[in-house]
């Protein structure tokens, strides 16, 4: 029945107040034995971007936009968000759905490219929440996960528009020499070998490249963590910019294709760290925006919801 249906967006989370930053980082790194002094260095990165993360606010904006669009399409469903590392937690949001009688849920993991570090981890957290809530006497919900959407037209259009908005900041001469560099979060090579992560990133990148009419692209990685001796996906965006600078590159559009909204990995790792590498290499770097609540992206999410419930999408997700 439709009155049992709802949409559950699952995201990473982020600190909304300065005093939440260190506890948030401890939650993210739980079990990894990272010294608090190292975490305090990351706190300074948050201070450099204003002391908080816009992640939860921006993701809530996506949920609000999606709910409004679904209602306009004749599918008035509640849309709520649960986070892995900040409030409201995955279990809290799922519990609120179940207590209100919403037991048939479309679950959209807010990670466009699938890896054990992202999609798999989010799904596992939802399953853990189901088990915990069943132990409290709540019913087991029906969970509907849409298929991969990294090539959906609306997602590609939104990414392409963000690239073109960045390119619009360049002069005519700069546009003739610009290179397009996509970035995504680095993960251990061992994880990457067990997942479609790199393949999906390249598929999205190629689709955007074709839509913005450039002849080639580069894919770099960022925000790696973990032990230095462990191999992670590369090249790192900072080192890559310096290498391209040595090869004569003067202008670059850097597009964080692996991220849906702004947060510390975008606002600090790209806007501060990568920008410094670009300046050192004498490259003018323009960072493309994340898709955020771009109408084409929200249309993609709406189409995914419609399709999971067996209703043909009313519109192409442009």
Three-class SS of residue 303?
A: helix
Q: Do 2-149+294-308 and 153-287 agree at the fold level? A: yes
Using the predicted structure, report yes or no on whether residue 151 has a pLDDT greater than 60: yes
Q: pLDDT at position 315, please?
A: 56
How many residues are there in the chain? 318
Which of residues 148 and 311 earns the better pLDDT score? 148
Alpha carbon 13 to chain centroid, angstroms: 11
Per DSSP, 269 falls in state: I
Pairwise CA distance, residues 233 & 228, whole Å: 12
CATH architecture of 153-287: 3-Layer(aba) Sandwich (3.40)
Three-class SS of residue 230?
A: coil
Calculate mean pLDDT across residues 85-106.
Answer: 98
Using the predicted structure, report yes or no on whether residue 253 has a pLDDT greater than 60: yes
Three-class SS of residue 232?
A: strand
Per-residue pLDDT of 46-76, as tens digits, reads 999 999 999 999 999 999 999 999 999 999 9
**269-299: buried (b, 16+ CB within 10 Å) or exposed (e) per residue?**
bbbebbbebbeebebbbbbbbbbbbbebbbb
Contact 53, 264 (CB under 8 A): yes
What mean pLDDT value characterizes the chain?
95
Q: pLDDT at position 33, please?
A: 79
Using the predicted structure, report yes or no on whether residue 316 has a pLDDT greater than 60: no
Q: Please, what is the end-to-end C-alpha distance for the chain in angstroms? A: 29
Using the predicted structure, report yes or no on whether residue 226 has a pLDDT greater than 90: no
Per-residue pLDDT of 265-297, as tens digits, reads 999 999 999 999 999 999 999 999 999 999 999
Calculate mean pLDDT across residues 207-232.
Answer: 93
Contact 151, 224 (CB under 8 A): no
Domain 2-149+294-308 has CATH 3.90.580.10: no
Domain limits, the chain: 2-149+294-308, 153-287
Using the predicted structure, report yes or no on whether residue 242 has a pLDDT greater than 60: yes
Q: Considering the entire predicted model, what is its pTM? A: 0.95
Using the predicted structure, report yes or no on whether residue 318 has a pLDDT greater than 50: no
Pairwise CA distance, residues 287 & 181, whole Å: 10
């Amino acid at each position: 029945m439709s009155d049992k249906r709802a949409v559950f967006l699952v995201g990473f989370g982020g600190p909304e107040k300065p005093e939440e930053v260190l506890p948030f980082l401890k939650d993210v790194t739980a079990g990894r034995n990272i010294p608090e002094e190292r975490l305090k260095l990351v706190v300074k990165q948050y201070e450099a971007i204003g002391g908080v993360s816009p992640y939860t606010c921006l993701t809530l904006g996506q949920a609000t936009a999606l709910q409004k669009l679904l209602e306009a399409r004749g599918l008035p469903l509640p849309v709520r968000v649960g986070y892995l590392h900040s409030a409201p937690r995955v279990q809290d949001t799922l519990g609120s759905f179940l207590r209100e009688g919403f037991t048939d849920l479309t679950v959209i993991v807010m990670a466009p490219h699938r890896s054990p570090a992202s999609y798999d981890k989010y799904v596992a957290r939802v399953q853990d929440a189901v088990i915990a809530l069943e132990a409290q006497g709540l019913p087991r919900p029906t969970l509907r996960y849409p298929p991969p959407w990294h090539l959906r037209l609306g997602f590609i259009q939104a990414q392409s528009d963000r690239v073109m908005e960045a390119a619009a900041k360049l002069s005519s001469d700069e546009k003739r020499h610009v290179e397009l560099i996509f970035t995504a979060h680095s993960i251990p090579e061992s994880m990457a070998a067990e997942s479609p992560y790199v393949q999906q990133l390249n598929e999205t990148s190629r689709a955007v490249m074709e839509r913005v009419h450039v002849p080639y692209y580069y894919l770099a990685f960022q925000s790696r963590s973990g032990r230095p001796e462990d191999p992670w996906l590369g090249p790192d965006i900072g080192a890559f910019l310096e290498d391209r600078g040595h090869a004569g590159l003067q202008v670059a559009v850097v597009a964080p294709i692996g991220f849906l909204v702004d947060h510390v990995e975008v606002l600090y790792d790209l806007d501060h760290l990568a920008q410094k590498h670009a300046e050192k290499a004498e490259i003018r770097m323009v960072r493309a925006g994340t898709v955020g609540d771009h109408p084409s992206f929200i249309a993609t999410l709406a189409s995914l919801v419609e399709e999971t419930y067996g209703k043909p999408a009313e519109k192409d997700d442009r």
